[in-house]
Amino acid sequence: MNRGEDQADGLRRLLNAAATTRIVAVAGMAPGAGASTAALNLGAEFARGGQPVLLLDEHAPHPLSASAVWGRAAAGTLGDVARGRMDSAAAAARLSCGVSLLPAPAGSIHGTFNPRALCRTGVIVIDVALDAAGQLSPLARLADEVVIVMQPVASSITAAYAGLKRLHYTHALQRFRFLVNGAVNEQQAQLVTANIVNTSSRYLAVSLAPAGWVRHDPLVREAARARLAVAQAHPASAAGSDFRRAAAALRERLAARPGTAPALASAA
């Protein structure tokens, strides 16, 4: 095979990868971690990069869910789509940041429903609601990447470790990513990230890798009050820059993986 054929084959592989729907599950192991905020802002960055993005809101209809805080009233729910009553485009609310937001409360789906059928390309972001036992929903178990959001404080990190162990033993999940949310500055975020990686490599039987960090920024809440992503409302903000960087790293990671390989697969 000559060089031109090698390049053409590489281009075809890239195009095929780009045409595969990826799933990212974003979860907090304790209230207040900021997982819903992270899910929306990461989704907004994926959309800004030109990818179709569908955000499945498992917390709906809670008053602090993404649907309540950012969304206009959706015409339907994931249950309506799964049962063939509506298609996802008609059921979802379209946000100004380019994300389609679809409520997906507990019990929306049954059996072997494949969320990748909701959109042919792009990214599905799941704003995860753990059940009473702290387990993932059937949807979130199919994710290509599971991102755990934690605050850089002892109680949040401890809860995250306990949750990771639970998910590992319950669902046989082998790898996770973590996002440090609300860091005072970059130095604190880097220190917390290094400590988490070192500790997990010694004491946890899972692969735990950083997904980035987001600095504490009051503009995040201000943007949410305006029903906007922070980078949309305040492009030069610290948090907006951090979400852009985290989303770019996740996008590269997703592009490097087959779109059908969930986080149950062995760590790479």
Residues contacting 240, CB < 8 A, separation 6+: 217, 219, 229, 230, 231, 234
Angle between helices 218-225 and 238-255 (to 10 degrees): 80
Q: How far is CA 212 from CA 42, 60, 72, 181, 241, in A?
A: 11, 26, 29, 9, 11
Structure confidence at residue 108 (pLDDT): 84
Residues in the chain: 268
3-state secondary structure of 175: strand
- 22-255: CATH topology is Rossmann fold (3.40.50)
Q: Dihedrals φ, ψ of 21, to 5°? A: -70, 130
Q: How many CA atoms lie within 13 A of 254 on its CB side?
A: 28
Q: What confidence score (pLDDT) does residue 17 get?
A: 45
DSSP code per residue over 201-238:
HHH-SSEEEEEEEEE--HHHHHHHHTT--HHHH-TTSH
Cα–Cα distance between 116 and 218 in angstroms, integer?
Answer: 35
Give me the half-sphere count of Cα atoms (radius 13 Å) on the Cβ side of residue 233.
Answer: 17
DSSP 172: -
pLDDT at 267: 36
**Peptide bond before 61: cis, by omega within 30 degrees of 0?**
yes
- The strand pairing partners of 100, in sequence order, are 54, 94
Tens digit of pLDDT per residue, the chain (268 long)? 454 445 445 444 444 444 589 999 999 998 899 999 999 999 999 999 999 999 999 999 999 899 999 877 899 999 999 989 999 999 999 999 999 999 999 888 876 788 888 888 899 999 999 999 999 998 899 999 999 999 999 999 999 999 999 999 999 988 999 999 999 999 999 999 999 988 888 888 888 999 999 999 999 999 999 999 999 999 999 999 999 999 999 999 998 875 444 554 433 3
Instruction: Please check whether residue 247 is in contact with residue 46, taking contact to mean a CB–CB distance below 8 angstroms.
Output: yes
